[in-house]
A and B are shown apart, each in its own frame.
Chain A
Amino acid sequence: EPEVTQTPSHQVTQMGQEVILRCVPISNHLYFYWYRQILGQKVEFLVSFYNNEISEKSEIFDDQFSVERPDGSNFTLKIRSTKLEDSAMYFCASSPTGRYQPQHFGDGTRLSIL
């Protein structure tokens, strides 16, 4: 069964540095998402992406964050000038179309900011 793959599985970065989290969504899916889960807290929506543009974003997704689909297969989340509170598990997801479709999640990237 096709899977969403995320790399790296664990990223350790110094505070203030930029980090790029990478995702390969399922190939025929059209919608892409990023969520995060701070340890012990709920899974939180960050952003959704469709047709090469952001379709929805949360209050968390401020100017520090950006997303890109640089080619036909990758979907990236960039965090500029990381903060300690950015430490979390970041999940990428994709869905075939939009509404009424399940979202398929990767196993996540654990981001640790030192």
Chain B
Amino acid sequence: SQQGEEDPQALSIQEGENATMNCSYKTSINNLQWYRQNSGRGLVHLILIRSNEREKHSGRLRVTLDTSKKSSSLLITASRAADTASYFCATDASNAGNMLTFGGGTRLMVKP
């Protein structure tokens, strides 16, 4: 079955550094989305990239998508302590119901 898998599973960086998280999946997709989750909270949508797009930016976030390699990356530039959270990629390959398949996530810790 289709799965999103992130790597690394955990990442620890200093404030001001860039953080890169990668996601791989197995089947053709309609779009890929990145979400953030703070401990004990719900998922917050960060960015959506369609299958015919290769790169998208939103503020300090940059997402790339390589459908030939079935992979995506999320880059957070100039990280802040407040960016500490878990980050998940989710793929939509559904025909009708917009089902998202989530990866296991990357736990990012940004040290002040």
**Contact digits for A31-54, partner B, Cβ 8 Å, 1 yes 0 no:** 101010000001111011010001
**Contact digits for B29-73, partner A, Cβ 8 Å, 1 yes 0 no:** 011010100001111110010100000000000000000000000
Q: With A and B bound together, what is the CA distance between A50 and B43 in angstroms?
A: 21
Chain B residues with CB under 8 Å of A57's CB are 97
Chain B residues with CB under 8 Å of A42's CB are 102-105
- Say whether A55 contacts B97, CB under 8 Å: yes
- Say whether A105 contacts B44, CB under 8 Å: yes
> Chain B interface: which size bin?
20 to 34
Stretch of A12-20, A63-71, A80-88, A95-103 on the interface side: A95-103
Q: Which residue of A lies closest to B92 (CB)?
A: A99
Q: Given A42-B103, A99-B92, A102-B33, are A31 and B98 also a contact pair (CB < 8 Å)?
A: yes
Chain B nearest Cβ from A42, distance in angstroms: 5
Which residue of B42, B50, B97 is within 8 Å of A106 (Cβ)? B42
Q: With A and B bound together, what is the CA distance between A108 and B42 in angstroms?
A: 6
Which residue of A43, A48, A107 is within 8 Å of B97 (Cβ)? A48
- Say whether B31 contacts A48, CB under 8 Å: no
Q: Given A43-B88, A102-B33, A102-B48, are A107 and B100 also a contact pair (CB < 8 Å)?
A: no
Chain B nearest Cβ from A102, distance in angstroms: 4
Other 4 A-B pairs with CB < 8 A, given A45-B100, A48-B97, A56-B96 = A48-B98, A99-B98, A100-B48, A103-B98
Q: Which residues of B contact A (CB under 8 A)?
A: 30-31, 33, 35, 40-45, 48, 50, 88, 90, 92, 94, 96-105
27 contacts between A and B (CB under 8 A): A4-B42, A31-B98, A33-B98, A35-B100, A42-B103, A43-B90, A43-B100, A43-B102, A45-B100, A48-B97, A48-B99, A50-B97, A54-B97, A55-B96, A55-B98, A56-B99, A57-B97, A58-B99, A98-B98, A99-B98, A100-B48, A101-B48, A103-B98, A105-B42, A105-B44, A106-B42, A107-B40
